[in-house]
Structure 1
C-alpha cells in the first residue's frame, strides 16, 4: 500500500476547501444545469410540433400521426369500394405503422439536435417513445 504524497494531499484539500474554488465549481454546475434544462425545453417544444402525413403506395389511405404516435386523421379514397375489406384493413394498419416509424425517426433527429442522442435524457425519451409505439403495434389486430 502506498502512502499519499503530503504535498499533493495538501494541494487537493486546498482546492476542496477554498471558498472561491467551491463557488466557481458551483457556478459551473449551475450553468451546466441551466443549459441542460434549456436544451430539454427546446427538445420538448420541437417534439410537440412533429407529425407525419403518409399515403400508402396504392393511394387508398392517408393517415396523420401526431408527435406521440397517435392517429390524428385518416382519409380513405373512394377506390376502397372496389377492394377487399381485408386488403383495405391491412393497408390502413401498415400505413399507420410506417407513419409511427417516421415519427420515431423525426424524434431521434430532434433529440440529436437538442440534448444529444447519447445523453441520458435523449436515451430515455427515445426509449420511452419506442416502447409506447411497440406496445401500440403489439395491441393491433392481426
Structure 2
C-alpha cells in the first residue's frame, strides 16, 4: 500500500537534494569567480591607468610623468573619472559570470547583479574613447 508512495517520496527527496547541491556548487563558483575579478580603465588620453578589485577598491594606479604639468584639480578629476569607469566594467563582467553560473533570472543572480548595478552604475556619456578592460 505505501510501497509506491514511499518510493516516489524517496525519489523526490533525492532529486531535491541533488538540485540543492547543484545550486550550492553554482553559488560557490559564482563567489570564487567574482572574488578573482578585476576591472581596469585608462583616462587622461592614456596618461592614467587604474585597476580595481571585485569590490571596486583601487588596487593599481599608474600616472604618466606628463600629468605633472596638469593642474591638481585636473589630475584629481581624471583619476576619479577613470576609477568610476574601471568600477563600471565590473557590472558587465559580473553579469557574464552570473549568467554562466547561477543564472541572471535566479534570486541569487538578481541579488548579485542589483548590488553591482547600484554600486557601480554605467558611466553616462562615456564615449570619450578611453579604454576599459
Q: TM over 0.5: same fold?
A: yes
**Structure 1 spans left out of the alignment, 5+ residues:** 1-13, 135-142
Structural mapping, 1:1-142, within 5 Å: 18-56=5-43, 58-133=45-120
- For the residues of structure 2 that align with 1:68 and 1:90, how far apart are their CA atoms? 21
**Structure 2 spans left out of the alignment, 5+ residues:** 122-133
Size of the alignment, in residue pairs?
A: 120
Report the equivalent of 1:10.
none
Secondary structure of 2:62's match? strand
Contact 2:42-2:82 at 8 Å conserved across structures: yes
Deviations 1:92-115 (A, max 9, x none): 111000001101111111000111
Q: What is the Cα deviation at residue 118 of structure 1?
A: 0.6
- For the residues of structure 1 that align with 2:14 and 2:104, how far apart are their CA atoms? 26
Q: What is the Cα deviation at residue 84 of structure 1?
A: 1.8
Report which of the two has the higher share of helix.
Answer: 1
- For the residues of structure 2 that align with 1:102 and 1:122, how far apart are their CA atoms? 17
Aligned structure 1 segments of 4 or more residues deviating by more than 4 angstroms: none
Q: TM-score, normalised by structure 2?
A: 0.82
Q: TM-score, normalised by structure 1?
A: 0.77
Contact 1:46-1:110 at 8 Å conserved across structures: yes
CA RMSD between the two structures: 1.9
